[in-house]
Structure 1
Amino acid sequence: MLKLDSFFGLLVDEERSDVFHFMELIDINKVIESTKVVKTLAKQNGKNAAIVNVARRQQILKLIKPLLNENMLDYEASYYTKEVNTSSEYDRRYGSEEHLLEYALLVAASKSKKVLADEHKIINVKQLRDAAFLETRFDRCWEILSQESLHIVEAYRKSK
């Protein structure tokens, strides 16, 4: 079971967007690869098929869903300008939440951190933290993943 502390100090490579990188960051490879949907799709389509990577991203979001839907601290602009932002329990919690939210958006968007920073049609970490939308944070991330992978899912359905 993942905990919020699993995301404390998480460093995401600016250039990478592959799902295997995201699974390795928080050491969930075995958990994701052993899910029924991933095993079945990998067996049918090959381990590196695009549809299998979509399934992996879905399973990652499902795994972090309880953390995403927890109550979070309010956005605090001063956190980003502090010289040391790990000195208190509050700061450590805020930092862990920040990395969790960033991680969820990167997984959902299927883009690297660098590309996502320039992507204005996808919400940012602050907006996800504020949860200024009707659904839950998990639902919002799931919607992003659905939009970003729609072409893959449609191509897979047409091939069946």
Structure 2
Amino acid sequence: MSSLTLAGLGQKVGHELGVSSWVKIDQARIDAFASCTGDHQWIHVDVERSKQESPFRSPIAHGYLTLAMVAPLAMEIGVVPTDAAAGLNYGIDKVRFLAPVPAGARVRLRVVLAGLEPREGGQVIMKTQNTLEVEGSEKPALVAETLALLLPAAGARQ
């Protein structure tokens, strides 16, 4: 359980907020993502062809699938302060896909609080630096600077 509060966020800028558990990105998840998005590129969904023709010798996760893992893993870490009514996706400043995620690999998220921008009514835009690590790989799958709009709960101290 997160112990972050809106009033205490300022002290956490520049510090790691946490690391998620490992999550397996299996072929079933990749196929489900392909079905949801319509991106059925063979390098993701054709297991046999990927084994033969892909430079990775197996299917790999879609880059946007790996990016989509940032939000739920950040929520697992507890990056939304306990006294916030909600944390809403506000945008992404920068994303770089650095290494493939082979089907069957495990990933985890490391989050650093990069900055805060106070807004009217006690709202705050929180910028985080997110690194999605691939188990056994020297390079992360991605790094992303994301923005969340934090809405204070009624009675939250600011």
Task: Please report the TM-score for the alignment, with normalisation by the length of structure 1.
Answer: 0.29
Higher strand share: 2
Higher helix share: 1
Structure with larger Rg: 2
